[in-house]
Structure 1
Amino acid sequence: MPFPFTLPTTSSVLLSDSFSSVTHPSLPLQVTTKRSVLKDALKKHKRLAAQSRSSHLSIVQEALTSYIPYLLTLKTASSYRDVGTERVDVEIIKPLEVEWRTTLTAALPGREAPRPKLTGIHHEVAFTFSTLAHTHVLLARSQLGLLYGSASLSPDQRTSTLAAAMKHLLEAHSILKYLLSVPSVSAARDAPMDIQPSTVSALASLALAEATLVVVSKDDPYAAAVAEDRDETNRDWMFKAPTIPKVRAHLFARICLAAAEHASQACGLLTGNATGKVDEDVVKYANDLRRTARAKAVRFLAIDTELSGKTGEALAWLRGAKKELGLASELEDGKRKGFRGLKQSWQEKREDRKIEKGGEWGMDAGRFEEARVVEMLEAKWDRENSTINVQTVPPFEPLLARLPTGREYHSPQPYEPPTIDPYTLTQLRAPPDPEDLAFRGDEEDSGGEDGYGRSNPPGAFPGAGTDYGRSATSNSYY
């Protein structure tokens, strides 16, 4: 399950204070308007309840894709380059100063993430594109969430849902890779951890790893069988057993190992940065995704071995899968036993409750769900091995030592950012009406020093914090 990113918010900025254009005087005004619409969309998204944010993501995506062409036009023209075939002269009056809320940088517990002041249009470009990538990941997350909802999906619905999620994840990967190719962004050393090149590269690797695992999930009947078994409204078990078609197990194992390699690369980039610290939830998620991908690979190798009639060796592979998950617990009659088994059951029930309430579930990167699949197969094969064909279960360590190499499935296409069409660019040559003002947004600026967002004294009426402050001529509250 993709990571539940928190979309950042930003301050209100009048770009005409920093840029002016002789050839296209309406350009700074239009960029300010488009940015204000984006600022409002992000702030409204932040205030929504967790259950309502998925339906609002399309509005945020539209605001981003409408703002990006104007932002890139302004950046290109300020670097003394032509925009397409047209010459656009933009003069920098003063360096652009913007504020973006950092959501991936480690912060003190219980406090909202800071909103540092950033100088330079390259920081604005970096935060805008990274926010668009996070939006695509959240859209993929909303699609995959349908697979774990209360209603069971038909095979065709499941396939279309997974295909849509895969498309969003690949788009997020391409956007982040494009961001790394922007020289001013990749060379920035004063940027927050959210847009540091190492963080952007790690998030690109995570998106590709998740997209690779979606390929396997599309044709993984065992995960679908476990999801149906968990669905309380499903009554198919009364009259038929779940159909488990044969899968290309060895190929799927190599694809999962490729996903594990991408997740391992992300772990190294997130933990090896000496300039700052990334939020622990992101680091833990990357590590859990690596564990889940490797466990899936080992589980598919177990399926490939069992199809060859080697039930004992297949059980050894499953024990290796539980070792990779870090959730190894002994089974007795298909049920967990011991304190570790009790703790794992409690964690899974807690995750199920998060799914029902629509909260930030999936922080384990699918580890608990994979554990259920492994234990379902282990209980089934152990019964068969004990009653029909008794085979010795060898140790799993030598098996894990000879895992095959990973195999890439995707060939991500380079991202092509949207551009202003020539007709719209020509319209910007018209001078703005002196009575027209740039749209500054309907939302208040939540990071300024003008009192918005300032904490109120205990018992104070909301918004009346300034009435309780000390006066300039008195040292008393009274």
Structure 2
Amino acid sequence: MPYPFVLPTTSSFSFSSSFSCESHPSLLLNASTHRGVGRETLKKHKRLPPNSQAPNLSSVVSSLNGYLPYLFAVDAGLSHRAVQGDEMNVVLRTAPAMEWRPTLSEGPVPGKEAARVRVQSLEYEIFFALSTLAIAHSLQARVSLHPLYLTSTAPVGTQQRQVAVTSATQSLLNAASIFDYLATRAEGFVTTPPCADISAAAVRAQASLALAEATLLAVLKDDPYPAVVAQDRNQNDTEWMYKAPDMPKVRAHLFARLCLAAGEHAAQAHSLSAGRVTGGKVSQEFVRYLEDLRRTSRAKACRFFGIDAEIGGQTGTAIAWLYAGLQELGVERKEAKKSSGFGKLKKEWAEKREDRRIEKGANWGVDAGRLEETRVIEMLEAKWTKQNDTMLTQTIPPTGPLLAQMPSGREIHSIKPFQPPVLDAATLEAMRAPPERSDDFEGYPSSDEETLAEPVGAFPGTSGDYRTGTPNYY
């Protein structure tokens, strides 16, 4: 958590090949230049190894933020809208032709990336650029949370944990704001989008996903149990004795309702993404993640209801809530499983595999926290069952009535409206001057093509003088 998105890549494009601007002749050159910077940054990011991509995310966000004001200025000029009180006049000469490689759409073959799609509308260029920025914000949230799950280093302190969660929450809310803006803008579409990535349903689902993850982070910020379970697996932990985590009764009930709200957002995202959407189908890995997130959120709610009951002395009811949590996760209780060592071995292997993914920093958390929540619930179940069997001997009620009486969720975050970036007045005035050069980039290779190396033994700059392919012998 959050979802491990993959950043799209794009082809080169010169705005002057499709547009003209008499009021600000240098606008198109500046837009092409900043788009080229963003394209190169995305291309570089894709080719980096997974452990080197995290530091590069700030460059991706910076390059996209530098490109978007110019893109919105061209869009405003097409509609003859003023920018900073300055009249813009952009004329469409021919339909633009850009290519983007979608990363959320279902590919033709499972496990392979989808083919590049041709974008012939400035509106879809805006959608791809903004959705790429939102994805970068989501990935920054993953980077902030990654140290909290490491078991190969000393556990992070309380203050560091608070800072990491706060930073990740802000990144997710920024992503939710952008996706919500795109979803609202997509409601006026009269054409079919070229792929599912920028369809109205997909961007609305991603907005709901970001809001669900931000809501769960409000709980993670003060939830001590995942940290206790992680410390138990951490060989570098120097503490040998733990005090039972304290959680006020009112806060436990509040956390449960926040988790239910997150589950509702995840369920909404899943309903929007499952099946076929406009422009194609969404990746099944993404759909499975949304379902896992819904299950995990509801299981967390059951756990907090159980904590609330245990604090009130109702240990039997608390254990029943834990059973309900495992039921939501789709996990059988240990007592209900058949006495076989294979199941235990399989579970230990899955846990070690996830720990290795966390250490490598790639594709961790693809189960939306189901494994982590299972560990927490099983830890509490073992503790409370032993306590109930030896001291209290309370009856454990059935889980069905408990699940039927669960309250509605409670919101903690609201999505702030996204404000499209606008060029400042000084920059607009400077672009009234004629451009110093052309922005013709048609000869540049696409974002997925590698730069050809010099032939072995060739003098630098003379690669064009060498024959390539199969030689002819006489």
> So what's the TM-score if we normalise by structure 1?
0.90
Decide whether aligned partners of structure 1 residues 350 and 194 sit closer, same or farther in structure 2, where only a CA change above 3 A counts.
Answer: same
Q: Please state whether the residue corresponding to 1:100 is helix, strand or coil.
A: strand
1:176 corresponds to: 179
Q: Please state whether the residue corresponding to 2:393 is helix, strand or coil.
A: coil
1:405 aligns with 2:408: yes
Residue 368 of structure 2 aligns with an amino acid whose one-letter code is A
The Cα of 1:338 is off from its aligned counterpart by: 5.6
Equivalent positions of 1:2-151 (< 5 A) are 2-107=2-107, 108-149=109-150, 150-151=153-154
- Contact 1:106–1:278 (Cα < 8 Å) also in 2: yes
The whole-number CA distance in structure 2 between the counterparts of 1:117 and 1:184 is 21
Q: Give a deviation string over 1:158-189, Cα, whole Å, max 9, x none.
A: 01110110000011000011112325874441
The Cα of 1:439 is off from its aligned counterpart by: 8.3
Decide whether aligned partners of structure 1 residues 408 and 188 sit closer, same or farther in structure 2, where only a CA change above 3 A counts.
Answer: farther
Q: 2:246 aligns with which of 241, 244, 247?
A: 244
The whole-number CA distance in structure 1 between the counterparts of 2:69 and 2:332 is 51
Residue 434 of structure 2 aligns with an amino acid whose one-letter code is P
The Cα of 1:438 is off from its aligned counterpart by: 3.2
- Contact 1:105–1:193 (Cα < 8 Å) also in 2: yes
Decide whether aligned partners of structure 1 residues 132 and 18 sit closer, same or farther in structure 2, where only a CA change above 3 A counts.
Answer: same
1:295 aligns with 2:299: yes
> So what's the TM-score if we normalise by structure 2?
0.91
The whole-number CA distance in structure 1 between the counterparts of 2:420 and 2:406 is 40
Greater mean alpha carbon deviation, residues 272-281 or residues 116-125? 272-281
Residue 127 of structure 1 aligns with an amino acid whose one-letter code is F
The whole-number CA distance in structure 1 between the counterparts of 2:260 and 2:119 is 39
- Contact 1:40–1:441 (Cα < 8 Å) also in 2: no
Q: Please state whether the residue corresponding to 1:388 is helix, strand or coil.
A: helix
Decide whether aligned partners of structure 1 residues 52 and 24 sit closer, same or farther in structure 2, where only a CA change above 3 A counts.
Answer: same
2:264 corresponds to: 261
Residue 106 of structure 1 aligns with an amino acid whose one-letter code is E
1:320 aligns with 2:324: yes
Residue 27 of structure 2 aligns with an amino acid whose one-letter code is L
Q: What is the alpha-carbon root mean square deviation over aligned residues?
A: 2.7
1:365 aligns with 2:354: no
Q: Give a deviation string over 1:292-311, Cα, whole Å, max 9, x none.
A: 00000000000011111111
The whole-number CA distance in structure 2 between the counterparts of 1:356 and 1:18 is 47
The Cα of 1:339 is off from its aligned counterpart by: 4.4
1:458 corresponds to: none
- Contact 2:40–2:447 (Cα < 8 Å) also in 1: no
The whole-number CA distance in structure 1 between the counterparts of 2:85 and 2:127 is 25
Decide whether aligned partners of structure 1 residues 180 and 310 sit closer, same or farther in structure 2, where only a CA change above 3 A counts.
Answer: same
Equivalent positions of 1:377-388 (< 5 A) are 377-388=380-391
Q: Please state whether the residue corresponding to 2:56 is helix, strand or coil.
A: helix
The whole-number CA distance in structure 1 between the counterparts of 2:135 and 2:111 is 23
1:217 aligns with 2:206: no
Greater mean alpha carbon deviation, residues 141-150 or residues 202-211? 141-150
- Contact 2:186–2:200 (Cα < 8 Å) also in 1: no
The whole-number CA distance in structure 2 between the counterparts of 1:192 and 1:432 is 35
The Cα of 1:446 is off from its aligned counterpart by: 3.7
The whole-number CA distance in structure 1 between the counterparts of 2:344 and 2:218 is 30
The Cα of 1:94 is off from its aligned counterpart by: 0.6
1:344 corresponds to: 347
The whole-number CA distance in structure 2 between the counterparts of 1:183 and 1:370 is 36
The whole-number CA distance in structure 1 between the counterparts of 2:106 and 2:242 is 50
Greater mean alpha carbon deviation, residues 394-403 or residues 364-373? 394-403
- Contact 2:15–2:439 (Cα < 8 Å) also in 1: no
Residue 164 of structure 2 aligns with an amino acid whose one-letter code is T
Q: Please state whether the residue corresponding to 2:171 is helix, strand or coil.
A: helix
Q: 2:236 aligns with which of 214, 233, 240?
A: 233
Greater mean alpha carbon deviation, residues 166-175 or residues 337-346? 337-346
Decide whether aligned partners of structure 1 residues 104 and 259 sit closer, same or farther in structure 2, where only a CA change above 3 A counts.
Answer: same
Q: Give a deviation string over 1:395-452, Cα, whole Å, max 9, x none.
A: 212211111111111122111122100010110000012xx2438599842457xx98
1:428 aligns with 2:431: yes
Decide whether aligned partners of structure 1 residues 446 and 420 sit closer, same or farther in structure 2, where only a CA change above 3 A counts.
Answer: closer
The whole-number CA distance in structure 1 between the counterparts of 2:418 and 2:41 is 24
1:474 corresponds to: none
In structure 2, list runs of 5 or more residues that go unmatched: 453-462
Residue 285 of structure 2 aligns with an amino acid whose one-letter code is D
Residue 129 of structure 1 aligns with an amino acid whose one-letter code is L
The Cα of 1:467 is off from its aligned counterpart by: 4.8
Q: Please state whether the residue corresponding to 2:366 is helix, strand or coil.
A: coil
Q: Give a deviation string over 1:255-275, Cα, whole Å, max 9, x none.
A: 100000000000100014344
- Contact 1:15–1:32 (Cα < 8 Å) also in 2: yes
User: Taking every aligned residue pair, what percent have the same amino acid on both sides?
Assistant: 46
The Cα of 1:132 is off from its aligned counterpart by: 0.5
- Contact 2:84–2:424 (Cα < 8 Å) also in 1: no
Q: Give a deviation string over 1:192-243, Cα, whole Å, max 9, x none.
A: 100000000001000000000000001101112112222210021x244454
Q: Please state whether the residue corresponding to 1:431 is helix, strand or coil.
A: coil
1:310 corresponds to: 314
Decide whether aligned partners of structure 1 residues 83 and 240 sit closer, same or farther in structure 2, where only a CA change above 3 A counts.
Answer: closer
Greater mean alpha carbon deviation, residues 418-427 or residues 392-401? 392-401
The Cα of 1:342 is off from its aligned counterpart by: 3.6
The whole-number CA distance in structure 1 between the counterparts of 2:241 and 2:398 is 38
The alignment covers a number of residue pairs equal to: 456
